Amino acid sequence: MTTRERNLWLYPRGLKDLPFTERLCSKCRKIKDVSEFYFVPSSSMAISSKCKECMRSYYRNKVKHCYKRVPDDTLVQCVDCKKIRPAKMYYRDKYKKHGILNHCKYCHSKRVNLK
């Protein structure tokens, strides 16, 4: 194998250059055409291990999880002042479990001022 051939194998320009036409999806375990996978030049196979369908449902679930937020009137105890306040008194944080910070807006401003 020449260097050029090796580079082509490692860094194909696109799906049409792949040395195979079908791939097993690691999620749904179905063998699908490479066009059913995303092209990922950085991965070892140059295409995603999950098919497009599985990737889409994966991201959909992830996004849903991120934006799940408790309703405004839910009572939440602040970890700083230990007071129980409605959720609207907390800043939003989509990556937190309840979609809000675990300390209230008052304590948040205190934290920021301390910095």
- Footprint of Zn ion (CB under 5 A): 25, 27-28, 51, 54, 78, 80-81, 104, 107
- Other beta carbons within 10 angstroms of residue 98's beta carbon come to 15
Q: How far is the CB of 3 from Zn ion (least distance, A)?
A: 34
Whose Cβ is closer to Zn ion: residue 83's or residue 97's? 83
Whose Cβ is closer to Zn ion: residue 9's or residue 58's? 58
Residue tagged 């009572």 (tokens) = 75
Q: How far is the CB of 50 from Zn ion (least distance, A)?
A: 5
Residue tagged 């205190």 (tokens) = 110
- Other beta carbons within 10 angstroms of residue 25's beta carbon come to 19
With H, G, I as helix, E, B as strand and everything else as coil, classify residue 96.
coil
With H, G, I as helix, E, B as strand and everything else as coil, classify residue 98.
coil
Q: How far is the CB of 47 from Zn ion (least distance, A)?
A: 12
Distance between CA atoms of residues 93 and 105, nearest Å? 12
Whose Cβ is closer to Zn ion: residue 13's or residue 92's? 92
Q: How far is the CB of 54 from Zn ion (least distance, A)?
A: 3
Whose Cβ is closer to Zn ion: residue 8's or residue 102's? 102
